[in-house]
Amino acid sequence: MAELAPTITIVHEITGRVRYRLSHPLDDASAVEARVRGHEGIDAIEYTDLTRSVLVRFDPRAVTSKELTVRLGVAFSMDQELTPVRVFAGREREDLSSVAVLAGLSLLAALAWRMRSRTGLPALEYGGGLLTAAATLEHGYQEIQERGEFDPEVLSIVYLITSFFRGNLLPASIVTWLATFGRHLIRHSGPGVEIKAVRLNAASAAEPEYEVVVSPTSPQSGWHRLLAVLPKVLQAVAGGGAQGGRRGSLLGDIERMSLMHGEVIDGLGEWRHGIPVKIK
């Protein structure tokens, strides 16, 4: 199996704070941090090796989150021996935990039994309900660890807990499972970008010279491509029209940021005069 390309996922973003997830651990976390920090307005960078999470706190009046994303992409590319790094604004389809899968199978079996025999099998339904509750709590805990908060969908467990006493356990368990994990089955990131640091001079040169190449990238599977198109189709049907070109995209945001900075990333680690940015 081919090794996955290094990927940065923008997991969560609010004013003055952005959290990223890296697909690979950093070889030299201190060097990456130094290269990202070279711009005023960056208050703190926290890298957690266990979860490969990077949390950046910054002053939005001095630096934008899009510049932070490019800076981290360049630093990550350098850390990974100049390998192109894919960046997505939002998580791609997530793999379900073993508990969530077992809960889903239990609920399917309980539903099939009820439809076939017209009566429920209490042991199977209670087992599915308990597994769903455990999977939902596990999911909420993981999101708190990764993002510092959980999605509101996790609160559906309150409905599940009350169903244990109201006698509608199976439908409540199915609703809770779908509310918590349903959209994670089809969650996609949409078009992202590929960031690569390219060395311009020979490896033997005393001082390396680089440029940054930013190009578009799309989800790999046809299923992901279909999901990326659906919002545009719905927008057109609703009469809003589709946004053309790069407007509103991660690449478009980075391109505008680059133009505002004279197509240069300044203060990137030891390259105090900046590195040219080329948008493809």
Task: Record the pTM.
Answer: 0.55
Q: What pLDDT score was predicted for residue 151?
A: 65
Whole-Å CA distances, 88 to 69, 104, 237: 10, 29, 26
Residue of 5, 191, 231, 215 lying closest to 90 (CA atoms): 191
Q: What pLDDT score was predicted for residue 74?
A: 87
- Per-residue model confidence as pLDDT tens digits over 153-184: 667 788 888 888 888 889 999 988 988 887 66
- pLDDT averaged over every residue in the chain: 77
**Which sequence spans correspond to the domains of the chain?**
7-92+188-279, 98-186
H or E stretch including 195? Answer: strand 192-199
CA distance 85 to 74: 8
Q: What is the rounded average pLDDT of the residues 64-84? A: 89
H helix runs in the chain, sequence order? 29-36, 65-79, 98-117, 122-147, 157-166, 169-177, 183-186, 222-237, 250-260
What number of other Cβ atoms are within 10 A of residue 199's Cβ?
13
Q: Domain 7-92+188-279 falls in which CATH fold?
A: Alpha-Beta Plaits (3.30.70)
Q: What pLDDT score was predicted for residue 243?
A: 43
Long-range contacts of residues 113-122, Cβ cutoff 8 Å, at least 24 apart? 114/170, 120/170
